Amino acid sequence: NLGSLNAKLGTQGATLSRGFIFDDDFSGAVLSVGSTAFVFAKVEENSDNMGDDAQFYTLMHTVATDAFSITPEVTYVDLADSSYFYFLALNADVNLGAASVWTSLIYEGGEIDATDMDVSAYLVAVGADVAATDALSIHGQAFYASGDDDANDSDIESFAGAAMPGSSYYWAEIMGLGTFDDYASTGAPADDISNVAAINLGTTFKASEKLSLTCDLWYAMLAEDDANGEDELGTEVDLQASYQLVDGLTLDVIAAYLFAGDATSANGSNDEDPYEFGAQLS
């Protein structure tokens, strides 16, 4: 701390735009004065084995009251071979008492120097959480990340797709890596949100002081058809029970099932629906 300046140097973690842009560890610096922050992050070193690195620079400012907060972000990503990307993002959170609403709006531009391809992509996301009673809450979210409608032209319209090392947004348990962060279903973008439209509705019931039960329903499809002309990823049901065994130790038991669409396949014809079951102590 140097007067009004706070400087955090070294290996650390940061989240930009809820993870749609970045959520990972890096070596670098975060400088902040009040509600304004600047981030320098080295996310890859010698990424092409020829001495070129990947790094980004972010400037953000938060305007906040008791009822809402708005954070515009500008991020410039410097990649190998003189390629670059930039993100213009606006993140907002609104507190309505028993309800809270959030949204993220992101535009991505840039250029890949080696192939002289221009980047123009976007993402729109919105979510809400409503406390129906002291024990019951309802939540939901939806997001759309643009895809590339023609892989053979000189434009890249697929949001994020490999442009930003470290992007990570967890959503459905099977299609979006969820809690276990293990293995995503074929065709789904996992936690690197790109070329997808998804909608979610769920509820959490606090059965007791130590036990909570959560049920989520997800539907997802590709923003642009895959190579087989398919776009439906499917409908997923996620169930979770969380129990506090002792102070500081929680058991999560999770079951998930995906009613797979035709885009959940490597060859355009899925034969089985993916499912997952597991437990976690944390």
pLDDT, tens only, 35-65: 999 999 998 776 554 446 789 999 999 999 9
Is 18 strand, coil or helix? helix
Cα separation of 31 and 7, whole Å? 5
Is 81 strand, coil or helix? helix
Q: For the chain, what is the mean pLDDT?
A: 91
Residue among 223, 163, 226, 218 nearest 196 (CA) = 223
The structure's pTM equals 0.92
Cα separation of 164 and 22, whole Å? 7
Q: Give how far Cα 146 sits from Cα of 3, 61, 110, 154, 227, Å.
A: 43, 26, 15, 16, 16
Residues in a beta bridge with 124? 105, 144
Cα separation of 60 and 280, whole Å? 35
Q: Tens digits of per-residue pLDDT, 173-228?
A: 999 999 998 889 999 999 999 999 999 999 999 999 999 999 999 999 999 999 88
